[in-house]
């Protein structure tokens, strides 16, 4: 696999369009890749200001470098309605950034799975539906995705799902207690492919220093990506993080085979369409 630059992706997709059937799906892929470029470029120009402003406010400047760009527009009426009407049921308010009590939030004691960046929530909701004995707490900044996810939870009548619409760094640093998570999962985080963007990546040594203590002993940290360079960085960071042990077989390349419990995500499908490989990692806290 190669880390295709977004512009190359667009070019490939345009070529595909002319050589294969011109389907609506191909059009959508081009639009999506174009959106990636647009948001990435916005991120590049906005980065220094963000960094200076946020870094000044934080004791952990590196953590405060935004790992996302808020995309505007494209929210459906149903998602807007969900944000208004379903929030009382599914949304956890973290505006005061106080420590959360998961037992009180879910109304029961159960293993706690926290997912950062669930996107439009399809895979997150599928996992929660397949695992009713666990509590699923999702953290996402993208409002349409949060709305869509609450709609899916409501459609499926799930009572083991809660969402937080906020930057995960704040939630991880302020709202979650040490040794309170059974699982932390991050699937297909924004790859920030260019070298100058790498500092925006969610997963880095400081991030692992922050999240490892939040896991219970025996708890899992799960990651997946379709960007080879990011996969290698994730593996290196996880391997070097004190207190974490790889579940991949000794002598393997360090990645695990695609776990049966991980549903296909939207970004994974996109990666596959672009010819990327997929890398899964599962580590356990000692």
Ligand X SMILES: C[S@@+](CC[C@H](N)C(=O)[O-])C[C@H]1O[C@@H](n2cnc3c(N)ncnc32)[C@H](O)[C@@H]1O
Q: DSSP assignment, residue 110?
A: -
Of residues 7 through 66, those in contact with ligand X by CB under 6 A are none
* Residue 208: closest CA among 198, 223, 218: 223
The single residue listed with the structure tokens 């709202």 is: 175
Dihedral, CA atoms, 90, 92, 93, 98, nearest 10 degrees?
A: 170
Sheet strand arrangement including 161-165 = 161-165, 135-140, 112-116, 181-187, 215-225, 279-285, 244-246
Q: Which stretch binds ligand X (CB under 6 A): 21-29, 54-62, 166-174, 249-257?
A: 166-174
* Residue 90: closest CA among 150, 166, 134: 150
Q: Which stretch binds ligand X (CB under 6 A): 38-46, 164-172, 237-245, 253-261?
A: 164-172
Q: Which stretch binds ligand X (CB under 6 A): 185-193, 212-220, 230-238, 272-280?
A: 185-193
CB of 66 to ligand X, least distance (A): 7
Q: For residue 267, state whether it binds ligand X (rule: CB under 6 A).
A: yes
- Burial readout 167-200 (b: 16 or more C-beta within 10 A, e: otherwise): bbbbbbbebbeeebbbbbbbbbbbbbbeeeeeeb
From CA 61, how far away is CA 145, in angstroms rounded?
27
CB of 141 to ligand X, least distance (A): 4
Q: Of 198, 216, 266, 273, which lies in the binding site for ligand X, with binding defined by CB under 6 A? A: 266
Instruction: Identify whether 226 is a catalytic site residue.
Output: no
Q: Of 220, 268, 276, 283, which lies in the binding site for ligand X, with binding defined by CB under 6 A? A: 268
Q: Of 265, 279, 280, 285, which lies in the binding site for ligand X, with binding defined by CB under 6 A? A: 265
Q: Of 6, 102, 117, 147, which lies in the binding site for ligand X, with binding defined by CB under 6 A? A: 117
Nearer to ligand X, 17 or 210 (CB): 210
SS3 content of the chain, % helix, strand, coil (to 5): 50, 15, 35
Q: Which stretch binds ligand X (CB under 6 A): 57-65, 187-195, 204-212, 227-235?
A: 187-195
The residues that touch ligand X, with contacts defined as CB under 6 A, are: 67-68, 116-119, 139-142, 145, 167-169, 187-190, 202, 265-268
The catalytic site residues sit at 190
């Amino acid at each position: 696999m190669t880390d295709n630059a977004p512009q190359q992706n667009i070019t490939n997709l345009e070529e595909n369009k002319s050589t294969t059937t011109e389907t609506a799906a191909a059009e959508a892929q081009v639009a999506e890749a174009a959106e990636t470029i647009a948001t990435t470029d916005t991120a590049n120009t906005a980065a220094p200001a963000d960094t200076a402003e946020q870094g000044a406010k934080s004791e952990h400047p590196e953590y405060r470098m935004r790992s996302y760009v808020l995309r505007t527009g494209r929210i459906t009426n149903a998602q807007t309605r969900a944000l208004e009407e379903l929030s009382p049921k599914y949304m956890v308010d973290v505006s005061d950034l106080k420590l959360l009590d998961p037992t009180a939030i879910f109304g029961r004691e159960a293993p706690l799975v926290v997912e950062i960046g669930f996107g439009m929530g399809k895979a997150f909701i599928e996992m929660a539906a397949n695992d009713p004995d666990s509590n699923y707490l999702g953290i996402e900044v993208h409002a349409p995705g949060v709305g869509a996810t609450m709609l899916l939870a409501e459609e499926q009548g799930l009572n083991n799902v809660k969402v937080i619409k906020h930057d995960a760094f704040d939630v991880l640093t302020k709202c979650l207690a040490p040794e309170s998570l059974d699982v932390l999962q991050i699937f297909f985080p924004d790859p920030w492919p260019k070298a100058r963007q790498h500092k925006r990546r969610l997963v880095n040594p400081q991030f692992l220093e922050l999240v490892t203590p939040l896991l219970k002993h025996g708890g899992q940290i799960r990651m997946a990506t379709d960007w080879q360079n990011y996969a290698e960085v994730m593996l290196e960071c996880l391997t070097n993080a004190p207190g974490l042990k790889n579940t991949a077989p000794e002598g393997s390349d360090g990645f695990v085979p695609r776990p049966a419990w991980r549903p296909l995500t939207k970004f994974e499908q996109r990666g596959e369409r672009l010819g990327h490989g997929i890398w899964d990692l599962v580590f356990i806290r000692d």
